[in-house]
Structure 1
C-alpha cells in the first residue's frame, strides 16, 4: 500500500502484538502450563524465541520514526483506566522480568507521548480470574461453554477500548494502539478516526 498522508484528522496506528510471558503477570504460570501440556516444552521455548524477535522488530520500527511524540497518545492492551497508568508501565519496564512491550511504552512516554488507560479494570479482573481458575479439562482444553464466555468478554473489552480511543484522541493527534491479535477492535472504532498499520505509518514519515 502507498504512503499514508496525515491530515488534521485523528489517526490511529494499530500494532498487533504478541504477549510475552512477562506481560501476563499472575496468569503467566497457568498459561505456560496449559501451553506445554498441549504442545510440549520445545514448542514453548520456540514460541518464546519468536516473540523475542517480534518485539525486536517493533522496537526497530519505532526507533526509525520521525514523529512529534508530544502529539501522540498510547493505548495498551491490558492497561486499565486507574489513575496510575504511568506507574504500572514504569514498574513493568524497569522490572528485571519486564517485557519489551513496556520498555517501548516507557521510551515513548519519555519522548512526550501521552499514556492513556485503555481498558475497564473490572473486565480485566474478570478475565484474569477465569484464566487462573482454569476453565479447562484435565488435558488443558478449554470447554465450549468457557470459550463462549471468554469470547463475549473479549467483545465487551473491545467496545470499551474503542470508546476510550474515541473519547481521548484529539483532532490532529496520532494514537498508537498496542493490541493482542485475538481482539477485534477495528470495526468498533469511530469512523472519524483514520486507521493505519505501523508499516503504513512508517512509509508516511
Structure 2
C-alpha cells in the first residue's frame, strides 16, 4: 500500500488571522504585555512565517498531488474565498496558502464549522471584557470547556486528513501550537516536521513516536 505523507507545521497566529476579534486581541494583549513586548511579539511572528516560507521553498513537491490543511478553515465550499480575503488583509499564513494554490496545491476545508463557532464564542467572552484581569479570570473558568473543545477539534482534523489525503499524496498542515493530532492519524500517514514539533501546555516539545523531523537546513541567520 502506498503511504501518505503529512508535513506538519505547528504555527503561531498573527493579528490579521483573528478576523473580527483582531482589535480585541490587540487591546487585551497590549494591556497584558505592554507596547514594547507587543511589538517584539509581532516581529517574532513575522520572522516565524518568513522561516516557514523559506522551508517550503526548499521542498520539491508535486503540487498537483499536494493537499493543504489549515487551522481554522471550515469545510464550507468557500475555503478559497476565505484564504484570499485574509491574504489581502495581510495574514502571512494565508499569503503562503495563496502562493501554494498558485503552484497547483489543493486547499482543503479542515475544520468543523460548528466547533469553530463554539470556540469563537468562548474567545469572545474572554475578550469582550476589555480588561486583562477579567479576561484572565474568565479564561481560567472556561479552561475545562476550552480543553475539551481543543480535543474535539483535533479529532475532527485528524479524521478529515485521514479521509481525504490519498495514497501517494502529500499533505501540508498548518496547525496552532496547542494542537497535536499526530497520535490520532492512521499508521500509513507518515508525519514529518520540517521545523518543530507541537508543544505541550508547558511549552515543551511533546515526545512523539515515529514522527521524524525533516532534514532541511535551517534558514540563514539574520544579521
Using the size of structure 1 for normalisation, the TM-score is 0.89
> Residue 150 of structure 1 is aligned with which of 142, 146, 152?
146
Deviation at 1:138, TM superposition (A): 5.8
The answer as to 2:49 corresponding to 1:55 is yes
SS of match in other structure, 2:45:
helix
Query: 2: CA distance between counterparts of 1:202 and 1:25?
Result: 35
Query: 2: CA distance between counterparts of 1:12 and 1:148?
Result: 30
SS of match in other structure, 2:56:
helix
Specify the alignment match of 2:4 in structure 1: 10
C-alpha distance after superposition, 1:86-114 (max 9, x if no partner)? 11112222x2x321111110111111111
My pick for the range that moved more, 126-135 or 164-173, is: 126-135
Deviation at 1:202, TM superposition (A): 5.7
SS of match in other structure, 1:70:
helix
State whether residues 15 and 176 of structure 1, in contact with CA within 8 Å, keep that contact through their aligned partners in structure 2.
yes
Deviation at 1:197, TM superposition (A): 0.8
Specify the alignment match of 1:141 in structure 2: 136
Specify the alignment match of 1:75 in structure 2: 69
Gaps of 5+ in 1: 1-6
C-alpha distance after superposition, 1:115-140 (max 9, x if no partner)? 11000001111111211122777613
Aligned residues: 196
Taking only aligned residues, the RMSD between alpha carbons, in angstroms, comes to 1.9
SS of match in other structure, 1:134:
helix
- Structure with the bigger RCO (C-alpha within 8 Å, sep 6+) is 1
SS of match in other structure, 1:115:
strand
State whether residues 8 and 173 of structure 1, in contact with CA within 8 Å, keep that contact through their aligned partners in structure 2.
no
Deviation at 1:142, TM superposition (A): 3.9
Using the size of structure 2 for normalisation, the TM-score is 0.82
SS of match in other structure, 1:128:
helix
> Residue 155 of structure 2 is aligned with which of 159, 164, 174?
159
Gaps of 5+ in 2: 196-212, 218-223
Query: 2: CA distance between counterparts of 1:92 and 1:36?
Result: 23
Relative to structure 1, is the Cα distance of residues 155 and 128 closer, same or farther in structure 2, using a 3 angstrom cutoff? same
